Amino acid sequence: MLILLPPSETKRPGGRRSALRLDAFALPELRAQRETVIDALTALSADEDRAARVLKLSDRQRGDIAHNAALRTGPTLPAVDRYTGVLYDALDAPSLDAAARRWLGAHVLIHSAPFGPVGALDAIPAYRLAAGTSLPGLKPLRRVWADAVTDALAATAPRFVLDLRSEAYVALGPVPGGVRSMYLRVVSAGPDGAVRALNHFNKHAKGALVRALAQDRPRVGSARALKHWADAAGVRIEPGEPGELQLTVE
């Protein structure tokens, strides 16, 4: 099973004094796209005022421009430790044991805007770039990433993909049509039995789900196998709309 996660706007600062190593990233086929976006983002960051306008940063967020300017030289952390926020706080990867972290490294890709999908343990610097941002001198990120990411995912030949990304990041790299995959939607059931989509708890539930999978490390090669694990683990996963699974939370 391959799990696709969205990134987070908030990130943990600092890290190891080891520069970015694109050659060590998952999906090495994306090297050219990564270089292109990094070059555009670092060039933009040479002009702080312009960068703040393009990236839509408040005065309080301007420190992120310095992070962007130092993408190739700044300190790095494993991607799953770099991101913070509701999903990653629920996943709480730093507290997992070594076996669970190895499982994350083998089964999870985090889809970033500047680097594309990276392995959970790939070391990345802090940065600020959203999926919908248009960088000067560069075609829209969707056109940079979408076809290349889809082809790179196809080349990994995963047996089953569980897509937990937001729609903005799905657009930056749809799962190949020939790969068995499911998009996960988080819902809550009301007293009348009707379900409704969630926002804040959507992210928390996804993080908690990935944490439980990393701790149990089941062999999952299909939606049916995932449901079998979920039933045993007390997680409520049911079929939803075509191509979707529903994770129901209280």
According to the model, what pLDDT value does residue 223 have? 97
According to the model, what pLDDT value does residue 19 have? 82
How do residues 2-25 score in pLDDT, each as one tens digit?
999 999 999 999 999 888 999 999
* Phi (first) and psi of residue 183, to 5 degrees: -90, 130
According to the model, what pLDDT value does residue 198 have? 58
Beta-strand runs (E) in 194-235: 195-197
According to the model, what pLDDT value does residue 134 have? 96
According to the model, what pLDDT value does residue 193 have? 58
Ranges of residues in the chain whose predicted pLDDT is under 70: 190-200
Dihedral, CA of residue 162, residue 167, residue 172 and residue 173, to nearest 10: 30
Predicted structure pTM score: 0.94
Dihedral, CA of residue 153, residue 154, residue 155 and residue 159, to nearest 10: 90
Three-state secondary-structure class, residue 187: strand
With 0-12 / 13-18 / 19 or more C-beta atoms within 10 angstroms meaning exposed / middle / buried, residue 195 is: middle
Domain assignments of the chain as residue spans, ordered by start: 2-249
